[in-house]
């Protein structure tokens, strides 16, 4: 059986998902023709059975790729900050690091103190941050670096791992 790098399998899955949408669009385009009453309809494109057969094969290949990708992401590990973790956990951690970095960026972009919209009674109100925005800006930078470092480790591992899949129908 032919093998491909996990990274190519992930990319191929994305391509096949788009291919499913294209085939569905093709089915809709070929499902009906407009003719005058009494005229015999003529097939304007590929027969529906042919498109449906291709669609079924693409969907089967997506399921197979899913299974292989999920298995590889569970069975293979990377080292990050002294901890060994399965790829699936590393992928989730990278997402969480990016989300936390975005939160810290938002907090870091705030002013420490600013005039709050007044209530019209002459009192001047201030909105005061209950934290140091500079600390959050620095934390956001570090979290982004960690997320990039982790993503690079994941990507490198995705090229090291090979899965058994024949991609000759698509490449």
Structure confidence by residue, pLDDT tens digits, 136-152: 999 999 999 999 999 99
The neighbouring-strand residues paired with 86 are: 77
**Is 51 a member of any domain?**
yes
**Is 67 a member of any domain?**
yes
**Is 85 a member of any domain?**
yes
The whole-chain average pLDDT of the chain stands at 95
**Is 15 a member of any domain?**
yes
Using an 8 Å Cβ cutoff, are 11 and 159 in contact? no
How many domains is the chain built from? 1
**Is 171 a member of any domain?**
no
Single pTM value for the model: 0.84
**Is 65 a member of any domain?**
yes
**Is 64 a member of any domain?**
yes
State the Cα–Cα distance between residues 115 and 130, nearest whole angstrom: 15
**Is 169 a member of any domain?**
no
pLDDT of residue 115: 84
């Amino acid at each position: 059986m032919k093998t491909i790098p996990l990274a190519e399998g992930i990319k191929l899955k994305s391509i096949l998902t788009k291919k499913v949408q294209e085939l569905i669009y093709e089915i809709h385009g070929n499902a009906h023709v407009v003719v005058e009453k009494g005229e015999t309809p003529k097939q304007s494109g590929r027969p529906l059975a042919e498109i449906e057969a291709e669609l079924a094969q693409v969907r089967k290949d997506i399921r197979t790729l899913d299974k292989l990708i999920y298995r590889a992401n569970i069975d293979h590990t990377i080292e990050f900050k002294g901890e060994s973790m399965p790829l699936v956990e590393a992928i989730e951690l990278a997402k969480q690091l990016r989300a936390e970095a975005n939160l810290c960026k938002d907090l870091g972009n705030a002013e420490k103190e600013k005039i709050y919209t007044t209530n019209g009674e002459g009192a001047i109100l201030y909105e005061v941050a209950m934290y140091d925005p500079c600390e959050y800006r620095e934390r956001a930078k570090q979290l982004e670096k960690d997320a990039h470092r982790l993503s690079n480790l994941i990507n490198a591992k995705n090229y090291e791992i090979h899965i058994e899949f024949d991609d000759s129908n698509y490449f």
